[in-house]
Homo-oligomer: A and B are copies of this chain.
Amino acid sequence: MTTIKDVAQRAGVAPSTVSYVLSGSRKISEDTRRTVQQAIDELGYHPRASARTLRSTRTNVLALALPRVAGGYRAVDGRFAIEISDAARAHGYDVLLMTAQEGVPGLRRIARSGQADAAILMAVEMDDPRIAAMLELGFPAALLGRSADDAALPWTDLDWEAAATLAVRELAAAGHRDIAYLATTEREIQAQRGYAIRGLAGARRAAPETGADVRVHQSTGDMARLARRIGTLLHGERPPTALVVQHVAALPHILAAVAAEGLRVPEDLAVVAVGNLPDDLGGQDLPRVELPVPEMSAAVTRLAAEAIATRTQGTSPTPPGHLLIPPAFVPGPRIAPPGPRAANA
């Protein structure tokens, strides 16, 4: 293994000089700079991360806490991981992966052993124990998702409340008056996931705002029950002419259930999604309010980097930054107006 001494020897200078060439923190004559650089290139020298970290107490690593796998694996989390990793590199950081299985003890271990400079917490819950742990440890952190106490740590999130409202508003604008809102699963709602709770709230708020009749239903992970539930909600009196789906992971099932009821999308039932479409949707595209994965990833990474910087400066009174991302509507295929079924009802 080549060290800074090897480089120094080859270039005929002191190790400290090599260090200054690398960091640029002191003036070095152009001559020696070139000699040293050449020695570095010839030897293929890279500073040892451990030695650097030991001295400077900076790792240039972000810990990324992936969500709990309770409700199974969510495809979008993998995308977040990749996007965040690339964003981190752009800020000069590497990413250390932590699964939720390790939980708070895992984060504590990483923080105290100094393996990362900050943590990014995914799938934050309204009352998330990891937040208290980060504060107690004095460890910089940024949240992907908004918790109940949103002043404690920097966070970014889609404005789920606005997203739900927006979806309903678009349907109302197309003439729909009877709208069903299929929220996330009961499990997610009971777990107090922020996106679940706020989506629900946005859906409820949409009714008075648009004047439409918005009936809100919770979804379920049990696909057989979900199909039955959809059958029921489509056959009440004054059946809905439009459906908003926040439980996007189940969209294929849901569309299949709708088809099984003999309804065509969008002629008989307009469907709008809130959140990321699953990779594959039977060739169907839907109008939707999208989850801005790249923006959120970039934002949470930037917030983490800022949290590190401000801690280093000891500027504690600065309130942590936030970024509530406004929802954007992707028209996709134009929303159909209420179909013949509406006339029947």
List residues of chain A with CB under 8 Å of any chain B CB.
Answer: 1, 44-51, 53-54, 57, 59, 61, 64, 66, 69, 72-73, 75, 77-79, 81-82, 85-86, 89, 94-99, 101-102, 109-110, 112-115, 223, 227, 249-253, 255-257, 278-284
With A44-B112, A46-B109, A94-B115 as known contacts, state yes or no: A79 contacts B82, CB within 8 Å: no
Q: Which of B81, B109, B227, B283 contacts A256 (CB 8 A)?
A: B283
Q: Which of B101, B113, B280 contacts A253 (CB 8 A)?
A: B280
State whether B97 touches A85 (Cβ < 8 A). Answer: yes
CA distance in complex: A257, B101 (Å) = 40
Q: Which of B59, B69, B97, B251 contacts A97 (CB 8 A)?
A: B97
With A97-B64, A278-B278, A280-B278 as known contacts, state yes or no: A46 contacts B112, CB within 8 Å: yes
The chain B residue sitting closest to A89, CB to CB, is B102
**A89: B residues at CB distance < 8 A:** 99, 101-102
State whether B47 touches A50 (Cβ < 8 A). Answer: no
State whether A256 touches B282 (Cβ < 8 A). Answer: yes
CA distance in complex: A250, B73 (Å) = 19
State whether B54 touches A113 (Cβ < 8 A). Answer: no
State whether A113 touches B47 (Cβ < 8 A). Answer: yes
**A82: B residues at CB distance < 8 A:** 66, 69, 73, 99
With A96-B94, A252-B281 as known contacts, state yes or no: A54 contacts B50, CB within 8 Å: yes
**A110: B residues at CB distance < 8 A:** 94
